[in-house]
Amino acid sequence: MKDEILQKLLSLADNPYKEFSAPLLPTIPRENIIGIRTPILRAYAKELKKKGGYESFLRELPHKYLEENHLHAFLIEALPYQEFAREIELFLPHIDNWATCDSLRPKNLKNNYDSYLLLIKRWISSNKPYTIRFGIGMLMSYYLDERFDESFLYDVSAIKSDHYYVNMMIAWYFATALAKQYDSTLPYLQNKVLSKWVHNKTIQKAVESYRITNEQKLFLKTLKIK
């Protein structure tokens, strides 16, 4: 099945799309990108789910191609919680790019938000950059509204990394937190808790957001670290 899946992926290659995508994914060697648009990959994942028998593909880690990683993500994201929790722990350490990381969002959060928080706390403490990024992304996507707790801001602010894609996600998280939980988030900028780069990138992204008021944007600009 693994060879069958790979041959199918190679048959879906779209070279112009590969040339478009490659510069956006600097951590992936160009020869490891097939060039398949996401809707086509998702359709193939849906086909495989109906067909079954793809478990051997999930066990073949690490994958070589970007699209194999994407397909892996699409195959496991709708699994029931217990199965997903097992599969994601096997898969996360092998994610090597922001696109796979950010496209993977579980579909089984209902009744499992507390259980996910335990996993997230472990993920953001990892030494694997894309595991950290995934954990922050989960907090940003699912825990900034009615499930928000101010302790999450502290947890993300405590992450120290030299990795660009981790720091970018921290900034994205805090910019989104400003849009959704402004009063709780603002002190992290006023007190300069974040690194200079993350601090300034947070302000940049917040100022670009339509969810931040013009008055708030003007004030945030005064907090930029020179």
Query: Is the pLDDT at 2 greater than 90, yes or no?
Result: no
DSSP string, 32-79: G-----HHHHHHHHHHHHHH---HHHHHS-S-SSHHHHHHHHHHHTTS
Q: Where are the domains positioned within the chain?
A: 1-108, 109-226
**Average pLDDT for 52-57:** 92
**Average pLDDT for 157-179:** 97
**Average pLDDT for 207-211:** 96
Candidates 97, 105, 52, 113; CA nearest to 74 is 105
Other beta carbons within 10 angstroms of residue 73's beta carbon come to: 22
Q: Which CATH architecture group holds 109-226?
A: Alpha Horseshoe (1.25)
Candidates 64, 57, 54; CA nearest to 33 is 64
- Answering whether pTM is above 0.85, one says yes
Instruction: Please provide the average confidence, as pLDDT, over all residues in the chain.
Output: 96
